[in-house]
Amino acid sequence: MADARDAEDALLLQAGDHGGLVGAWYPVVLQRCLVRAGAAGWDVAHDVVERLLAELRRGKRYPVPYRVVVHMVTSWTLKEHFQGRRTDLPLPEGWDPADAADDLAGFERAFDLERLFEELPDGDRAVCRLRYLDGLEIEEIAARLRKTRNAVDQALHRAHGRLRELARDL
């Protein structure tokens, strides 16, 4: 999934379609900002987009996939929002994007899983979130949801079957 997105980003960047490039990432930025900043997330997402566009217009190029840049700028802007600092500052010159890739891999994995889990019924979705996003064992999930271990196993089995169906449709 990331490789196809990276290739598309590279084409947009090469074509100079900055609006299309940033626009393609806007839903991800907005969702992340809304989750972290609540109603103020709209303003934070706007600041992220302005910052990304300003950097691109200045001719900034990056040695990492653009998704890494998007997630790092979003993180910095959210951090600045909570610190009450300005968000229209340029990217830090000493930033090492190679370090950022590892941090973002976990976020992207969780984001992708959340999108897959949206297709599941509520009960199965809750079990999958606890298992795969929170890393709980089956017994811990059963205790937290006040279900039997067997009920949790069945929910996981149903969810796995539904996810296999979705994968085949791709």
DSSP codes of every residue in the chain: -HHHHHHHHHHHHHHT-HHHHHHHHHHHHHHHHHHHHGGGHHHHHHHHHHHHHHHHHTT---SS-HHHHHHHHHHHHHHHHHHT--S-PPPPTT--HHHHHHHHHHHHHHHHHHHHHTTS-HHHHHHHIIIIIS---HHHHHHHHT--HHHHHHHHHHHHHHHHHHHHH-
Tell me if the pTM is above 0.75: no
The reported pLDDT for the residue numbered 137 is 93
Higher pLDDT, 45 or 4: 45
Q: Where are the domains of the chain?
A: 1-97, 119-170
Q: Is the pLDDT reported for residue 82 higher than 90?
A: no
The reported pLDDT for the residue numbered 89 is 57
Q: Which CATH number fits domain 119-170: 2.40.50.1020, 3.10.310.30, 1.10.10.10, 3.30.930.10?
A: 1.10.10.10
Q: Is the pLDDT reported for residue 25 higher than 80?
A: yes
Return the minimum-mean-pLDDT range out of 34-38, 49-53, 101-105, 147-151.
101-105
